[in-house]
Amino acid sequence: MIDIKLIRENPEMVKENIKKKFQDQKLVLVDEVIDLDKKNRAAITEVESLRAKRTSLSKQIGALMGQGKKDEAEVIKTESQQIGDKIVELEAEQAKFQEEITKRMMVIPNIIDPSVPVGKDDTENVEVERFGEPKVPDFEIPYHTDLMESLDGLDLDAARRVAGNGFYYLKGDIARLHSAILSYARDFMIGRGFTYYVPPFMIRSQVVTGVMSFAEMDAMMYKIEGEDLYLIGTSEHSMIGKFIDQIIPEEELPYTLTSYSPCFRKEKGAHGIEERGVYRIHQFEKQEMIVVCKPEDHMKWYNQLWQNTVDFFRTLDIPVRTLECCSGDLADLKVKSCDVEAWSPRQKKYFEVGSCSTLGDAQARRLKIRVQGKDGKKYFAYTLNNTVVAPPRMLIAFLENNLQADGSVLIPKVLQPYMGGQTVIKKSK
């Protein structure tokens, strides 16, 4: 949510930003907010004026009563009561104006960074940089579900019977590899100075609407029936929500946090063959990184966060690239975002394994996360998030890039301590 002052003072800038995001249907919202804001402020001004008048009348009533002029005092009392009724009426009107303003402000997109390329959708995202040499072996690489099954590590049929499509059983060495990667990711981020968290896996609606747009909420979140609770789609939701209604001393910033959680997502819509199996699923686990910082530091942290993911994958010898998200591919709260994509030798292309975003003060403004400056002034914090790793999707890249001609999979040295010293996962007989 942007600052309403920006709409008052520079509505054309807000409209231009909406156009860059190809959401022209929202242009009318800017004019509606301006009109409602004028009415709202006029109502507030009138209420303040009436309150001042009522205070003055109260003093007059007291003086008249003191002089024994009861009849005159009663006349003024009637006038004061009428003013009170008008105040109640105006306050109800003002609350309605504010509700309508907030409703529109919640769907007006955040102001994107000037460096964001303009484009309609993810097909117009821009490659920034590649890390590592992508290779294609001279033997055939099976589809990832076949590969996992050949290692006796996956059971989709049982998962369908138990929970339906979009779920899985991992087992044996593949299940252990899954846990090893998450444990390694945890220690990798602790080594970079981040504080480790395991957060709540359910959050209230107030937090949901504070951390994401309504469109994202509808497409992603599972609601707990009969309760004001939602299953989280990522631990970013819980971790940013941790600071709701807080005033943070400036000297405590930045907060650099890394959190583990299961994630639950609806994943609406049909998907292509490459997104079946364990690529696009309703339940997975993830290691996340979150930063809460001062406004002037957010771009420094943005660059550091995506670099952390690149460095993590490179320690596993998986080639990756960064892809700048264009304006039309940015969620409404985001200022700037890039995807980290891993190389798939089987597909001979890269696919997304992580996403890094800075949201400016949008989440903080919605959740009332403020910073107490050294000068005593308060301002909204800036928030950022990024994926460290999200298996089992990441396992696709890992298994394909470490597959050997005999069907076995090598385990890199950094992971071997988390696998009990195991150096290879052998093909099942």
Confidence (pLDDT) at 70: 87
- 427-to-48, 51, 176, 409, 410 alpha-carbon distances in Å: 78, 81, 15, 8, 11
What percent of the chain is modeled with pLDDT above 70? 98
Encoding tokens for residue 358?
């800075």
Domain with CATH 3.30.930.10 in the chain: 122-425
Domain with CATH 1.10.287.40 in the chain: 4-105
Average pLDDT over residues 246-251: 97
Average pLDDT, the chain: 94
64 confidence band (pLDDT: 50, 70, 90): confident
Cα 94–95–99 angle (5° rounding)?
Answer: 115
Average pLDDT over residues 65-71: 87
268 confidence band (pLDDT: 50, 70, 90): low
Fold of the CATH domain 122-425: BirA Bifunctional Protein; domain 2 (3.30.930)
Confidence (pLDDT) at 1: 81
Confidence (pLDDT) at 179: 97
CA gyration radius for the chain? 28
pTM, full prediction = 0.90
CATH 1.10.287.40 fits 4-105, yes or no: yes
- 142-to-139, 183, 347, 401 alpha-carbon distances in Å: 10, 27, 10, 12
State the distance between the two ends of the chain, measured CA to CA, in whole angstroms: 56
pLDDT tens-digit profile of 305-315? 999 999 999 99
State yes or no: pLDDT of 270 exceeds 70. Answer: no
H or E element that contains 393: helix 393-402
